[in-house]
């Protein structure tokens, strides 16, 4: 429905969705009115609150409209207070869509426009919702410049598709344990602990502990939690990433994923500045990795930058190499940072065991320390030493041919591949301990991804040399020689 001045309303099918969403959003208020009505004997209060909530949801459709002009896109919202959000079309960096279950049943899609600036609340440009058949046309209009194929553009092709085998990486992210911990916290807050005291469940647990022993019951409980964690992690990954397809159509990168809640992201490939391979320790041990985009106007963390969830490392590397057309940047050898950086990795990893050893030694002089405490100290020390060795082995960088590659971390290892043309400034930083060790942290500033990419603990006398090798515009300047902050 289009008015004379060019304003268009959203799909009238949202008259069935907005009231439901408002009722769900106002459940605490409705529950409070229910308690109040029961206490006073006046149940019309509940009906009045529900009626007002539904009416507000209906009014949202009548007060929401959008307009696409030659220079800008506008969104008009507000029931009690009118607001107009305007976005210049030349500032649009990406278009994403999302369809929850109710939206999909009604053939609707939520369309979001991103300009690269972090937007929350009323500053988010979201059309909730448009008919699914209109999404393609709106995307083409909003990304008209990106969708127009350039003479040198590559033809459209699928870069990666989701496979059920990717689910084997799901339990390694500990998502299930986090969900269980959150559920336990909620139950504790609502007083479930008090309700369990003296209940048949608690009595059965106490009886089992007396019969089989507390250690056996605890082991069974841990096993049940671990199994539940695995199941929840797999289900969460299946629901979130099933049917994923990453496709490149000329200068547009299109990502679609989700089983129940379908999400789609469209990116302008001309704003791509590289990628990040994320390899958490457990995922890495099983040969997996996650791929994030380093792109102007797109955040470098979370779902905003996601290109591939945890998947086989070879798949993530192949996709990144295809996108940036540089295989050596993705899996080529890296230059180490020298013995000083290695010593810092071991020192920081072993400082806790060293302090613990002193504490145990003092306790041994003052009294008796159980043998298991020393055994635990040995185990922790070995684990910390292995962690330090892995962090030292992971540390490295690579420059040349227009790219900066930096790798760091162990528990959360990452390899950042950043195009040199996207770097707009450099900073060399040194803490007190870094100055003592003769190393420094080189920070590349860019408008893409997380905005700053670090090369940790490089030899201090080589920091500006590395920066000059990466960005030729720095070579020969007095700042490169004198160590000025260029930002």
List the domains of the chain with CATH numbers.
8-143 (2.30.29), 335-474 (no CATH)
Report how far residue 36's alpha carbon sits from residue 52's, in angstroms, rounded to the nearest whole number. 17
**Residue 438 pLDDT exceeds 90:** yes
pLDDT digits (tens, 9 = 90+) for 286-317: 999 999 999 887 766 677 788 999 999 999 99
Residues 9, 64: contact at Cβ < 8 Å? yes
The structure tokens listed for 73 are 């896109």
* Per-residue confidence band for 120, with pLDDT thresholds at 50, 70 and 90: low
Residues 268, 242: contact at Cβ < 8 Å? no
CA 348, distance to chain mean position in Å, is: 27
* Burial label, 128 (beta-carbon count in 10 A; 0-12, 13-18, 19+): buried
Range from 39-48, 142-151, 160-169 carrying the lowest mean pLDDT: 142-151
Query: According to the model, what pLDDT value does residue 300 have?
Result: 64
Residues 111, 126: contact at Cβ < 8 Å? yes
Residues 309, 166: contact at Cβ < 8 Å? yes
SS3 (DSSP) at 64: coil
Residues 221, 128: contact at Cβ < 8 Å? no
Would you list the DSSP string of 419-486? EGGGEEEEEEE--HHHHHHTEEEEEEEESBBTSEEEEEEEEGGGHHHHHHHH-GGGTT-HHHHHT---
pLDDT digits (tens, 9 = 90+) for 69-103: 888 888 888 877 788 888 888 777 778 888 888 88
Query: According to the model, what pLDDT value does residue 389 have?
Result: 94
Backbone angles phi, psi at 246, to 5 degrees: -110, 120
Residues 83, 76: contact at Cβ < 8 Å? yes
* Per-residue confidence band for 456, with pLDDT thresholds at 50, 70 and 90: very high
Query: According to the model, what pLDDT value does residue 192 have?
Result: 56
Report strand pairing: 412-419 vs 403-408: antiparallel
Mean residue pLDDT of the chain comes to 82
Rounded to an integer, the average pLDDT of 266-274 is: 85
Query: According to the model, what pLDDT value does residue 397 have?
Result: 94
pLDDT digits (tens, 9 = 90+) for 210-268: 777 777 777 877 888 888 888 888 888 899 899 999 999 877 888 999 888 888 888 88
Report how far residue 265's alpha carbon sits from residue 225's, in angstroms, rounded to the nearest whole number. 35
In this prediction the pTM is 0.77
* Per-residue confidence band for 483, with pLDDT thresholds at 50, 70 and 90: very low
Instruction: Mention every residue, 6+ apart, whose C-beta is less than 8 A from residue 215.
Output: none
Residues 105, 260: contact at Cβ < 8 Å? no
Query: According to the model, what pLDDT value does residue 147 have?
Result: 55
Q: Which residue has the higher pLDDT, 473 or 410?
A: 410
Q: Which residue has the higher pLDDT, 386 or 216?
A: 386
* Per-residue confidence band for 129, with pLDDT thresholds at 50, 70 and 90: confident
Backbone angles phi, psi at 480, to 5 degrees: -60, -35
Report how far residue 368's alpha carbon sits from residue 91's, in angstroms, rounded to the nearest whole number. 69
Query: According to the model, what pLDDT value does residue 193 have?
Result: 57
Q: What angle do CA 410, 411, 412 make, to 5 degrees?
A: 85
Backbone angles phi, psi at 170, to 5 degrees: -60, -50
CA 390, distance to chain mean position in Å, is: 24
**Residue 486 pLDDT exceeds 50:** no
pLDDT digits (tens, 9 = 90+) for 309-345: 999 999 999 999 999 988 889 988 999 999 999 999 9
Instruction: Mention every residue, 6+ apart, whose C-beta is less than 8 A from residue 476.
Output: 468
* Per-residue confidence band for 348, with pLDDT thresholds at 50, 70 and 90: very high
Q: Which residue has the higher pLDDT, 240 or 480?
A: 240
Range from 2-6, 189-193, 204-208, 464-468 carrying the lowest mean pLDDT: 189-193
Range from 76-80, 202-206, 384-388, 424-428 carrying the lowest mean pLDDT: 202-206
**Residue 485 pLDDT exceeds 50:** no
**Residue 481 pLDDT exceeds 70:** no
SS3 (DSSP) at 213: coil
Q: Which residue has the higher pLDDT, 202 or 464?
A: 464
* C-beta atoms surrounding 48 within 10 Å: 13
């Amino acid at each position: 429905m289009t008015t004379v001045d060019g304003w268009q309303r959203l799909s009238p099918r949202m008259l069935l969705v907005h009231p439901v969403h408002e009722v769900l959003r106002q459940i605490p208020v409705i529950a409070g009115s229910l308690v109040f009505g029961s206490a006073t004997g006046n149940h019309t209060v509940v009906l009045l609150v529900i009626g007002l909530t539904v009416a507000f949801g209906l009014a949202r459709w009548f007060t929401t409209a959008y307009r696409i002009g030659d220079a800008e896109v506008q969104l008009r919202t507000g029931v009690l207070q009118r607001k107009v959000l305007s976005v210049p079309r030349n500032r649009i960096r990406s278009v994403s869509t999302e369809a929850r279950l109710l939206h999909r049943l009604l053939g609707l899609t939520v369309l979001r426009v991103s300009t690269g600036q972090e937007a929350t609340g009323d500053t988010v440009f979201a059309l909730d919702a448009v008919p699914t058949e209109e999404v393609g046309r709106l995307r083409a209009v909003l990304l008209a410049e990106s969708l127009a194929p350039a003479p040198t553009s590559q033809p459209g092709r699928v870069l990666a598709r989701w496979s059920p085998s990717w689910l084997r990486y799901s339990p390694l992210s500990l998502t299930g344990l986090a969900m269980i911990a959150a559920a336990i916290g909620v139950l504790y807050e609502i007083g479930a602990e008090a309700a369990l005291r003296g209940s048949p469940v608690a009595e059965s647990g106490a009886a089992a502990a007396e019969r089989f022993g507390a250690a056996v019951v605890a082991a069974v409980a841990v096993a049940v939690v671990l199994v539940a964690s695995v199941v929840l992690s797999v289900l969460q990954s299946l629901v979130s990433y099933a049917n994923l397809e990453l496709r490149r159509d000329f200068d547009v990168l299109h990502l679609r994923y989700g089983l129940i809640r379908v999400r789609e992201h469209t990116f302008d490939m001309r704003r791509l500045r590289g990628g990040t391979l994320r390899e958490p320790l457990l995922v890495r041990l099983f040969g997996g990795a996650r791929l994030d985009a380093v792109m102007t106007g797109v955040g470098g963390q979370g779902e905003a930058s996601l290109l591939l969830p945890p998947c086989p490392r070879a798949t993530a590397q192949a996709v990144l190499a295809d996108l940036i057309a540089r295989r050596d940047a993705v899996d080529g050898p890296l230059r180490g940072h020298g013995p000083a950086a290695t010593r810092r990795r071991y020192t920081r990893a072993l400082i806790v065991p060293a302090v613990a050893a002193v504490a145990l030694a003092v306790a041994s002089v003052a009294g008796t320390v159980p043998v298991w405490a020393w055994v635990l100290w040995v185990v922790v020390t070995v684990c910390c030493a292995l962690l330090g060795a892995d962090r030292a082995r992971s540390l490295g960088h690579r420059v040349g041919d227009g790219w900066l590659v930096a790798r760091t971390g162990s528990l959360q290892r990452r390899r950042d591949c950043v195009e040199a043309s996207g770097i707009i400034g450099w900073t060399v930083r040194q803490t007190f301990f870094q100055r003592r060790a003769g190393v420094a942290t080189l920070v590349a500033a860019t408008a893409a991804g997380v905005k700053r990419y670090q090369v940790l603990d490089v030899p201090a006398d080589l920091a500006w040399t590395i920066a000059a090798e990466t960005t030729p515009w720095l070579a020969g300047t007095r700042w490169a020689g004198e160590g000025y902050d260029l930002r």
